[in-house]
A and B are shown apart, each in its own frame.
Chain A
């Protein structure tokens, strides 16, 4: 890559620190991000066994002061938000009129009419435009992505790490709830959430304090290790969690992706009519999970065949460090069930796979 291309990439406040600590950096969604430190397999295993910290400052955050009904917020997201207790968070989608996914997001309820929306990095501008186009009446929307730093601290030992930082009360956080904590006079939000399938936390802190926190973590606790986006991807894929831009996109609906449980069909929302129609007419494509019997892995973009017919395309595929086989997911037409045999192909490569239920690894952890 040319130097000028690297300069054009966006950088988190931790970029220099990653380079100084020996991370392998690579472009990801327009950002220069750490892909790995000591290696994807080692970092994956460390997250499953102990605790890792990930720089997730590239992700987007919005603050919104708005009555959820009169502002239209409730119509913009698919998850039920009126019933959310203050201090809880909930996963769902923003859809276009066709029911296609504009983004997947987590809504944090900070107060009765006070919210934080956490969105993907590559979709920040589009999400903001969509929010502004559909919010109405009295509301105050602030894109706080630049000034907000985010560290994900994930793994079975993460509660101990968090206790060191914030005291014992942080361990009381239930799954998909959050609290406000003090760190050296700075307000931080800590939620019991993550993208790895392990017990974990996401910490939101001002961008100008995030480097100090990052360094502090390693001084305080020798078990915690830095991890890159490479193992974040293998960890989430083993759980069957979707990645926006690959497994979710504006051309597929949450019903096709198999995430009905994050769509509240009892309320009104943008795209609902399309979803109802889709349910009546039949869902055309479905996101399915599959695994190979070997160490070979189907990859993003491989064609999926059932017998001689092409039925779809692989959206995510990787070696699974926990299972030691290839795993993946992709949209296919027709209805398949666990145990069905498929063939994934790319040029000369053919990898046989078997349809499986998610998650690939561990027990199901429902949101």
Chain B
């Protein structure tokens, strides 16, 4: 299971890649594997205001539908348009081609509520026991 070093993680298996105030958001390798073949991603709209930890997107697999929660508060600046036709990008490349959207975060201190890669790795060890 891949856990890139430079990302922040939530307990619900979302990730955020921070570039200054800009953040790419997606779901982790563990999440995509647990869901199985992803068939639909319901994304927020450009301009939507998000609040940390609120359900802001849905992801459907063949078997089930799940909510995706905002890692940060802020404003959606772009969505990954490719996912509409290719939801399988989330399975194939959860940290890259399969990102969900880009946002401008409003409060960098919210990082304190997220895990870094080492903490997420430890958290995952607890789950897989």
Please give the residue numbers on chain A whose beta carbons come within 8 Å of chain B beta carbons, in ascending order: 24, 35-36, 39-42, 230, 234, 294-297, 299, 318-319, 321, 349
Contact = CB atoms under 8 A, between A and B. Distances in A.
A295 B39 contact: yes
Interface in B84-120: 87, 91
Given A234-B62, A321-B62, A40 B40 contact: no
Contact of B62 (A230, A296, A349): A230
23 contacts: A35-B36, A36-B36, A39-B36, A39-B37, A39-B91, A40-B37, A41-B37, A41-B62, A230-B36, A230-B62, A230-B63, A234-B62, A294-B40, A295-B39, A295-B60, A296-B40, A296-B60, A297-B40, A297-B65, A318-B63, A319-B39, A319-B60, A319-B61
Contacts of A349: 58, 65
A40 B58 contact: no
Contacts of A295: 39-40, 60, 87
Interface string B58-88: 1011111100000000000000000000010
Contacts of B40: 294-297, 319
In the A-B complex, the 3 residue pairs with the smallest Cβ-Cβ separation, listed nearest first, are A319-B39, A295-B40, A41-B37
A297 B63 CA distance: 9
Contacts of B37: 39-42
Interface of B: 36-37, 39-40, 42, 58, 60-65, 87, 91
B85 to A, nearest CB: 9
Contacts of A234: 62
A297 B36 contact: no
Contacts of A321: 62
Among A40, A42, A319, which residue has the most Cβ atoms of chain B within 10 A?
Answer: A319
B125 to A, nearest CB: 16
A294 B39 CA distance: 10
B30 to A, nearest CB: 13
Among B62, B63, B65, which residue has the most Cβ atoms of chain A within 10 A?
Answer: B62
A40 B36 contact: yes
Nearest to A24: B36
B104 to A, nearest CB: 25
B92 to A, nearest CB: 11
Contacts of B65: 297, 299, 349
Nearest to B91: A39
A265 to B, nearest CB: 38
Contacts of B36: 24, 35-36, 39-40, 230
B39 A297 contact: yes
Given A39-B36, A230-B63, A295-B40, 5 more contacts: A230-B36, A295-B39, A295-B60, A318-B62, A319-B62
B35 to A, nearest CB: 11
Contacts of A318: 62-63
Among B36, B37, B42, B64, which residue has the most Cβ atoms of chain A within 10 A?
Answer: B37
B61 to A, nearest CB: 8
A103 B58 CA distance: 36
A229 to B, nearest CB: 10
Given A319-B39, A319-B40, A40 B60 contact: no
Given A40-B36, A294-B40, A299 B64 contact: yes
Nearest to A40: B62
A230 B35 CA distance: 12
Contacts of B42: 296
Contacts of B91: 39
A24 B62 CA distance: 14
Given A297-B39, A319-B40, A40 B87 contact: no
A27 to B, nearest CB: 13
A41 B36 CA distance: 9
A295 B61 CA distance: 10
Nearest to B87: A295
Nearest to B65: A299
B129 to A, nearest CB: 9
